[in-house]
Amino acid sequence: MSKPTEKKGAVQTTGHAWDGDLQEYNNPLPRWWLWGFYATVVFAVVYWLMYPAWPVGNTFTKGFNTITFEVDGEERTTHWNTRALLVRDMQSSPSAVRQREFLEQIAAASYEEILTDADKISFVRSYAHGIFGDFCAACHQVGGAGIVGLYPNLANDDWLWGGTVERIEETLIQGRLGYMPSYRETLSADQMNDVAVYVLSIAGYEGGDADAIGRGDRIFHGAEGGCFQCHNVGGVGRTSQGAPNLTNNIWQIIDVPNAADHDARVELVKSVLRNGIQRQMPAFADRLSPIEIKVLTAYVHQLGGGQ
């Protein structure tokens, strides 16, 4: 056995020898590496102090760094976290900024300005489409076509409550109750038949004898029926009552145009007289912001080609 070799000028050893000749070089870490290591330690400590880091019980150390973002127009500052960062990015992204600018313009503009400006109306269409989908389409259907008998069609130019922007806005804010009484107790079967034949005649349907139409006219415009009080003289409708125009062959409640023949049409009208109508458009004053109501009003107005 020879003595552990001590290469002259070579690497130092730690001086220990195991198993006779097993030695350990004493290679100090390179300086650059060591400083790099210290730097990462310092970085980690600073990071723990600045950002959410360590679990503590059922919470965690939140760090000193903060983030400020906007909620409903109010600035809010909280400890830094990725959710708030996302919210802030969504608010300050170019498209979000553009949307906010448009909403400010819409808020400041009159309906006339909105409806005659191509940029504003195309913004209204895309922005309202989402709100309409969330709040209205469940009843009025995507695109506003409605369901005959249940929910009115908003995409035609026939209005129960009026198609001016003022009336549409009022409809959205306060809701509407469409009500027509049942005539089950007030009119006899013959009288119902007469007035139904009259209603079909003013809508442009032929059939039914002239005498019956004459009797129906008198019921419609007289005390027995009193229909004119809501549907107006001649049945042209009255938006203050939400009572439809009966003369234009656009039907809200009954699907007259698809009925098989005149008898079937008469039966449909009589079913309305027997059952009456009661249906409710909910109020949205406390579910939508004023600007959302404004955008939706302009949207619904241009859907129906408004008045």
Annotated binding-site residue numbers for heme c: 136, 139-140, 180, 227, 230-231, 281
Annotated binding-site residue numbers: 136, 139-140, 180, 227, 230-231, 281
Using the rule CB under 6 A, is 176 a contact of ligand HEC? yes
Minimum CB–partner distance for residue 226 and ligand HEC (Å): 5
The residue with tokens 């198993």 is 19
Using the rule CB under 6 A, is 225 a contact of ligand HEC? yes
Using the rule CB under 6 A, is 208 a contact of ligand HEC? no
Return the H-helix or E-strand segment holding 277.
strand 277-281
| 233-272: contacts with ligand HEC (CB under 6 A) | 241-244, 246, 251-254, 269, 272
Between CA 127 and CA 28 the distance in angstroms is 67
Compose the 49-88 pattern: x for residues touching ligand HEC by CB under 6 A, - for all others.
----------------------------------------
| 10-39: contacts with ligand HEC (CB under 6 A) | none
Return the H-helix or E-strand segment holding 129.
helix 118-135
Q: Which is nearer to ligand HEC, 84 or 128 (CB)?
A: 128
Between CA 231 and CA 18 the distance in angstroms is 112
Tokens read off for 7: 């290469």
Between CA 226 and CA 239 the distance in angstroms is 17
Using the rule CB under 6 A, is 227 a contact of ligand HEC? yes
Between CA 180 and CA 160 the distance in angstroms is 12
Q: Residue 199 class from Cβ within 10 Å (0-12 exposed, 13-18 middle, 19+ buried)?
A: buried
Using the rule CB under 6 A, is 231 a contact of ligand HEC? yes
| CA-based nearest residue to 302, from 131, 136, 128 | 128
Using the rule CB under 6 A, is 273 a contact of ligand HEC? yes
Between CA 92 and CA 178 the distance in angstroms is 44
Using the rule CB under 6 A, is 127 a contact of ligand HEC? no
CB atoms within 10 A of CB 265: 24
Check residue 57 and report its DSSP letter: T
Using the rule CB under 6 A, is 212 a contact of ligand HEC? no
Using the rule CB under 6 A, is 172 a contact of ligand HEC? yes
Minimum CB–partner distance for residue 238 and ligand HEC (Å): 8
Instruction: Return residues touching ligand HEC (CB under 6 A).
Output: 135-136, 138-140, 151-152, 154, 159-161, 168, 171-172, 176, 178-181, 183, 195, 199, 220, 225-227, 229-231, 241-244, 246, 251-254, 269, 272-273, 277, 279-282, 284, 296, 300
